[in-house]
Structure 1
Amino acid sequence: MDSYPAVEAHGLIGDLQTAALVTDDGTVNWFCAPRFDSPSIFAGLLDNRRGGHFQISPDGTDYTSKQLYLPSTPILITRFLTPDGVGEVIDFMPVTGEQATDRHRLVRIVQVVRGTMRFRIDCQPRFDYARGRHEVDIRPDGVVFRGSTLTVHLSPIRGGGQLFEDGEVRRGDEGVHLVGTLRQGQVGGVILETAGDSPRVVTPDEAWELMDRTRDYWRRWLADYRYQGRWREIVERSAITLKLMTYAPTGALVAAPTAGLPEQVGGERNWDYRYAWIRDASTSVFALLSVGFTEEAHRYLGWVEDRVVASANEGVPLQIMYRVDGQRDLTEEVLDHLEGYRGSAPVRIGNDAAGQLQLDIYGEVVHAIHRASSEGMHGSHEGWRSMVRIVDWLCDNWDQPEDGIWETRGGRQDFTYGRLMSWVALDQGIRLARRNGRPAETATWARNRDAIYEQIMSQGFHRGRGAFVQHYRTDVLDASLLAMPSLGIVSPTDPMWLSTLRAMENELVSDSLVYRYNPAASPDGLAGNEGTFSMCSFWYVRSLAEAGRLDEARLTFEKMLTYSSRLGLYSEEIAPSGEQIGNFPQAFSHLSLIAAALHLDQLMSERSHRS
């Protein structure tokens, strides 16, 4: 169990259709192909004995390692320091483009920048979450791993007398082992490729050209980045991370590229996040537009609009999440043969929460459309008519128990956040119709909007607690309600809100970190506890800023930055020990970071100008 790397000890690389995680000891231990939600090729992250891995590291010597990204790119450099020299493994994936493809390349360039270093390469694929078998064919120009549904090639990068040519390649387990020595200035390495031609020798010049093209793509993309505030670098890294989690053929954004990483080590809260959540829509559109990535916001909104149109045409409610190609089938299954990260079983793929009723998603959709419209991005006529139909559906269905934002499995309730976002859907739908002169039953919408408002104020606010609470039949607090002031249903200085914020600070806030709710006080159908939610912690920053507590908001934000990985990445949660837990990296954590940074920066600048 102890040999598992920390969650935060990983870097993320990707090609805009899938991604891989690389540890700071040079191990690829998570890689699925050809898509984010495809079966894994390497899943050592979920079982370090059976899951498969692909390691490049110094051989036969002690070393320390450090990681960094090539600035303004997702090209990952792992540096190894030994008594005899300094070596580097440079990992990246050439961008695939917007046409779905089965061909994906994981390029691993190895070089020595000082002295001499002997490297070990250990490539142990395990197809289909380590359920499939494959053949290993070692050839003079590389290695072929041939499974029943997928073939992977390993091609050497070498010049005369360098790594892979002077090293010994031998079969081991279901993979290959290789050792070889490089001296200062020499370059070697390997390229793992899915669905390509036969393996072949790649020259160092060819490998460097692939890296140059990858670097240039990302720096051209960042030319549109327009945030120049106090936290430019961390916001830029978050933007790159979000781009890496975007499926280019459709514009969908996955919640995380991983599955099964636990919310509590040893616990059962282990979910598959490799899908696109409708809930991410409004925050995604806001974050992307705010930092200059209009095209990404447009494509993501187009993906959301397609889901709305399909839902309206089929006469079914929106699903809370979809596959990246828009398919609804997310049937959940348990991989009993994998032990889970540090023994955290069960390991689940698929996600049965897709079938839950979560009313807040309608507000997220309309909020995203409203935000885009304010920036001059207007959807199609069909999109508008479909949005009207789902808002009409909401008028008939908002006043019922639902499963809530946190996807609990403890039964439906009248969740206050679901009512809040239903209010948002109706309120902003009315604003859209009136501003753009679009047809809609706005009088009906207004009556329902006002009824929701009155219900929230009378039933969502617990007089004994002096706070808005999770649902109407409890006194439990819920960090999702930190969004209330920014959504406009209450003023950030309203006494009802200020007393809510104080109650949350007393019960849910631990220094800068925020728990989403107390599972012991509000049973959610699952055993165990969880860490603090990074998304909620960034929401807290915004709430402090909106309440006029700018200095506290800035300190809280700066403290949150200390919990990031060394590469600036965030998982879903922070454990009591300060380590990251949950799926990694998580889109909503980075989206909320961007939103908090932008809002805090704006308010601090306004205060500075006033003084």
Structure 2
Amino acid sequence: MTLSTSHPYRSSLDVAAIGNGRIAALIDQSARIVWWCFPRLDGDPIFCRLLAGDEEKGFCDVVLDGQVSASSYYIRNTSILETILIAENGASVKVTDFCPRFWRYDRPFHPAQLVRRIEPLRGRPRISVRVRPTSNYGQPVTNSSYGSNHVRYLCGSSSVRVTTDLPVSYIAHETSFSLTHPATLVIGADEPIESSIDSMSREFLERTRDFWVTWVRGLAVSYEWQPEIIRAAISLKLCTYEETGAITAALTTSIPEAPNTPRTWDYRFCWLRDAYFVIRALNRLGATQSMENYLDYITTVVSDTQSPLKPVYGIVHNDAAQESIAPHLQGFLGMGPVRVGNLASDQLQHDAYGSVILGVAQMFIDQRLPRMGDVSLFRELEYLGEHARRLYLEPDAGIWEYRGRMRIHTHSAVLCWVACDRLARIATLLGLGERAVYWKESADKIRAEILSRAWSDKRGSFTGAFDHEELDASVLLLADLGFLPPSDPRFVKTVNAVGRELMRNGLMLRYAAEDDFGLPESAFLACQFWYIDALESVGRKEEAHGLFCELLKKRNAFGLMSEDLNPATGQLWGNLPQTYSMAGMINSAMTLSKTWEDAWSSVTPKHDVNPIEQERAEREPSSAGLHLPRRSLNVS
């Protein structure tokens, strides 16, 4: 894969994600670990180089003397990353990075641990290994101690141990040395490793590869775009904190939405509005265990609160998410501020009620789930429905979390309608006729209000807020949520109006009006997928297919997507891998793909092959066909 030097911002987000359901790390194309939070997804970044600006701190890398090129790639259908570093004299090394993940003693084994194997491939490569951790969001670690096979770093209130079969002095002093045999670094909790480092890392690598290959084998992917869907599915899995079932919005904090903007947010939390999109994607993939775990997290939130729902929860749901600024980090490419926590947790966002009920509704119809929804769960959801009935005409911060204004947002009102509508349907399934009537009448009342106050004859579209004329891409979900049929002329006109007014260079903005931070600059990838799905639903399938294929080209070098795109340059911005974007990719791909039954119709055999030559070729295959070309990355 080729590194583009013409777009430095784009190359800065060409990072791969590895993880195991407890921790995750980001690694750039030269095998530098630039982001790793410890001891869990939302922890203190021990490696924070991604947000350190021009300061050389918070990373772990392998420096090859005389390096001229590198190639970096995932092992197929896994989250294991391999990087080949090549020196000008032809010497080369392979760096393999992974987080152990497999079954052990009949339970998941996923320690807060990174494993890095470094192997000589050719010649006598000379390398140095640099480990420069930080604590307290960017403060270099100065307190360390050494054992016979490890270095212990005191990172704030916790210790991180690097256990290795390399000479510890080489790590401590970043000494250059000749690599003559495979070496391993195990980075994690301050616990001794009782077995051979080399044999343990080889066993963990093999078992982790088997885990991912087996997990992918169980996915129900569409015929088209299989590699893209698989990579997106693995990315969703990496954003999962398996202990509680929570799925974070992204693995990072404070990557700006656009160059030099204060729009920098911490996304290492669980947004309830994501529930529907993520559960839908997991359901379509057949990833029922991940979906079930996420449903457990959401129902725990529902049953554990007697207060109105927050829009954002921690990966342990009762953890606080208060927002502060990290003073020791300059920010991505020096573009701060770096935020820890998210103020959105204190906002009023009334769409949360519908989002939760919409997601949990899967439990009442999905026969694959061992624990299906019952009357008791329905009663808990009714508590949320009562909030929706009461709040749908109350101003809130909306889906885009405006910090300086409150309106009656159309999307929030529609999700309040969704809450009542789905409760009516669930009550019908459970045979609760009186409750079904109650919730149906509530839904009808809210729907009438939305149709009256959110439609603008002047704009020929549903607008973003009641009694306002500004357009908003969230109304593209009206048909998907079942509020209107796709054939309804009002929805068709809305799709046309949003496409006409919010598209920039073929990319969809969330909205075009000025907000708390000025005029928005970036396209929002989730909205692009909503637009693609809306086009397909109104019969513009060829246009939707074309936009989808173009959007796939915007992924980074490892197939990941962040939150935003610059419409003028096509550069990725925002936190990554972004759950909204990856789930959107899966849902759109599954919607647009031809069926497996139709797949062979597009495969046309060649009729101009000489049958005698064909038989000879099959009997005596050319040796040229046995070698795969090596993809190289020129970094000189």
Q: Compute the TM-score of the two structures, normalised by the length of structure 2.
A: 0.87
Q: Distance in 1 between matches of 2:222 and 2:494?
A: 34
Q: What aligned pairs does 1:298-447 form with structure 2 within 5 A after superposition? A: 298-311=292-305, 314=306, 316-376=307-367, 377=369, 378-438=372-432, 441-447=435-441
Aligned to 1:471: 465
Aligned to 1:54: 59
Query: Residue 143 of structure 2: which of 135, 139, 148 is its match?
Result: 135
Gaps of 5+ in 1: 158-163
1:200 positional shift? 7.6
Aligned to 1:288: 282
Deviations 1:379-434 (A, max 9, x none): 25432211011102221222111110011112110111111111111111101110
Q: Distance in 2 between matches of 1:100 and 1:33?
A: 19
| 1:123 alignment partner, SS class | strand
Q: Distance in 2 between matches of 1:441 and 1:380?
A: 14
Q: Distance in 1 between matches of 2:129 and 2:433?
A: 63
Determine if the alignment matches structure 1 residue 490 to structure 2 residue 484.
yes
For 1:95, the aligned partner's letter is R
Deviations 1:349-386 (A, max 9, x none): 01111111111121111211223422224225432211
Deviations 1:8-27 (A, max 9, x none): 31110112111111111111
| 2:255 alignment partner, SS class | strand
Q: Distance in 2 between matches of 1:86 and 1:403?
A: 54
Q: Distance in 2 between matches of 1:438 and 1:214?
A: 47
| 2:94 alignment partner, SS class | strand
Deviations 1:118-139 (A, max 9, x none): 2221110011212475412233
| 1:91 alignment partner, SS class | strand
1:526 positional shift? 2.1
Query: Residue 71 of structure 1: which of 67, 70, 76 is its match?
Result: 76
| 1:154 alignment partner, SS class | strand
1:446 positional shift? 2.3
Aligned to 1:160: none
- 8 Å contact kept, 2:487–2:538: yes
Aligned length: 588
- 8 Å contact kept, 2:136–2:156: no
Q: Distance in 1 between matches of 2:61 and 2:195?
A: 18
Determine if the alignment matches structure 1 residue 533 to structure 2 residue 524.
yes
For 2:204, the aligned partner's letter is L
Aligned to 1:547: 538
1:92 positional shift? 0.4
Q: Distance in 1 between matches of 2:490 and 2:423?
A: 26
Aligned to 2:230: 236
Q: Distance in 2 between matches of 1:606 and 1:508?
A: 35
Aligned to 2:23: 18
- 8 Å contact kept, 1:265–1:343: no
| 1:29 alignment partner, SS class | strand
- 8 Å contact kept, 2:95–2:118: yes
1:37 positional shift? 1.1
Aligned to 1:161: none
- 8 Å contact kept, 2:22–2:110: no
Aligned to 1:591: 583
| 1:107 alignment partner, SS class | strand
For 2:229, the aligned partner's letter is V
Q: Distance in 2 between matches of 1:308 and 1:51?
A: 44
Q: Distance in 1 between matches of 2:234 and 2:363?
A: 21
Aligned to 1:39: 44
- 8 Å contact kept, 2:222–2:590: no
| 2:143 alignment partner, SS class | strand
1:606 positional shift? 8.7
Query: Residue 563 of structure 2: which of 566, 572, 580 is its match?
Result: 572
Query: Residue 180 of structure 1: which of 164, 177, 190 is its match?
Result: 177
Q: Distance in 1 between matches of 2:125 and 2:141?
A: 34
For 1:66, the aligned partner's letter is S
Q: Distance in 2 between matches of 1:51 and 1:201?
A: 34
Aligned to 2:170: 169
For 1:79, the aligned partner's letter is I
- 8 Å contact kept, 2:102–2:208: no
Q: Compute the TM-score of the two structures, normalised by the length of structure 1.
A: 0.91
Q: Distance in 1 between matches of 2:9 and 2:529?
A: 28
| 2:174 alignment partner, SS class | strand
Q: Distance in 2 between matches of 1:219 and 1:101?
A: 16
For 2:490, the aligned partner's letter is M
Deviations 1:432-475 (A, max 9, x none): 11022247633332232112212222211111111111112422
Q: 1:178 to 1:245 in 2, by over 3 A?
A: farther
1:59 positional shift? 3.0
Q: Distance in 2 between matches of 1:115 and 1:43?
A: 33
1:245 positional shift? 0.8
Gaps of 5+ in 2: 1-6, 602-636
Aligned to 2:265: 271
For 1:418, the aligned partner's letter is S
Q: 1:121 to 1:438 in 2, by over 3 A?
A: farther
1:251 positional shift? 0.7
1:89 positional shift? 0.8
- 8 Å contact kept, 2:378–2:426: no
Determine if the alignment matches structure 1 residue 195 to structure 2 residue 190.
yes
Q: Distance in 2 between matches of 1:4 and 1:142?
A: 36
Q: 1:304 to 1:76 in 2, by over 3 A?
A: same
For 1:120, the aligned partner's letter is S
Determine if the alignment matches structure 1 residue 115 to structure 2 residue 112.
no
Q: Distance in 2 between matches of 1:422 and 1:603?
A: 35
| RMSD of equivalent CA atoms | 2.6
Q: Distance in 1 between matches of 2:434 and 2:132?
A: 58
Aligned residues with identical type, % of pairs: 28
For 2:182, the aligned partner's letter is V
Q: Distance in 2 between matches of 1:371 and 1:310?
A: 20
Q: 1:201 to 1:293 in 2, by over 3 A?
A: closer
1:261 positional shift? 0.8
Q: Distance in 2 between matches of 1:362 and 1:606?
A: 40
Q: Distance in 2 between matches of 1:292 and 1:395?
A: 33
For 2:36, the aligned partner's letter is F
